[in-house]
Amino acid sequence: MYRMNETEKHALRRFYDRLRENLKAERRKQDLVEDSVLITLLKTQSATRYRLLSKSTLKSIDVSAEGLSTLLENGDVQSTGDFDSYVVTAKGVWRFERELGLLNEEKLLSYLTDNYFTTKNLLPKSKNDLNDRERVILLTMIAARAFSKDSAVDLKKGDVARDKWKDIFGGSFDILNGMGLVTNIQKSALIDNRGNEHIVVGVFRHNNQMVQKTQAIYRYTGEYEYYLDLCKDGAFSCDKLSYLFWKIFQGNIAQPYVDQIVDYCNEVSSKESIFLFDMSKHVFGMPAYDRILKDSLLDSIRAKDRWSKIS
Dump pLDDT digits (tens) for 137-162.
Answer: 999 999 999 999 999 999 999 999 99
pLDDT recorded at residue 121: 47
Cα 239 to Cα 141, 144, 164, 244, 266: the distances in Å are 17, 18, 28, 9, 19
Q: Is a pLDDT exceeding 60 seen at residue 120?
A: no
**pLDDT-wise least confident of 73-82, 126-135, 237-246:** 126-135
Kindly indicate the confidence band of residue 1, based on its pLDDT and cuts at 50, 70 and 90: low
pLDDT recorded at residue 222: 79
Give me the mean pLDDT over the 93-107 stretch.
Answer: 90
pLDDT recorded at residue 118: 59
Cα 33 to Cα 24, 38, 42, 219: the distances in Å are 11, 9, 9, 34
pLDDT recorded at residue 2: 62
pLDDT recorded at residue 127: 63
Task: Quote the CA–CA distance of 60 and 160 in Å, as a whole number.
Answer: 75
**59 Cβ contact partners less than 8 Å away, ≥ 6 residues apart:** 84, 85, 86
pLDDT recorded at residue 205: 86
- Which residue would you say has higher pLDDT here, 150 or 118? 150
Give me the mean pLDDT over the 7-21 stretch.
Answer: 94
Percent above pLDDT 70 for the chain: 96
Give me the mean pLDDT over the 54-72 stretch.
Answer: 93
Q: Is a pLDDT exceeding 70 seen at residue 252?
A: yes
pLDDT recorded at residue 109: 86
Q: Is a pLDDT exceeding 60 seen at residue 122?
A: no
Q: What is the DSSP string of 31-83?
A: PPGGG-HHHHHHTS-HHHHHHHHHHT-B-GGGS-HHHHHHHHHHTSEEE-SST
pLDDT recorded at residue 80: 86
Dump pLDDT digits (tens) for 262-292.
Answer: 999 999 999 999 999 999 999 999 999 999 9
Task: Quote the CA–CA distance of 49 and 36 in Å, as a whole number.
Answer: 14
Give me the mean pLDDT over the 70-89 stretch.
Answer: 90
Dump pLDDT digits (tens) for 184-241.
Answer: 889 888 888 777 789 999 899 888 789 889 988 999 987 889 999 999 888 999 999 9
Give me the mean pLDDT over the 86-100 stretch.
Answer: 93
Give me the mean pLDDT over the 4-30 stretch.
Answer: 91
Q: Is a pLDDT exceeding 70 seen at residue 293?
A: yes
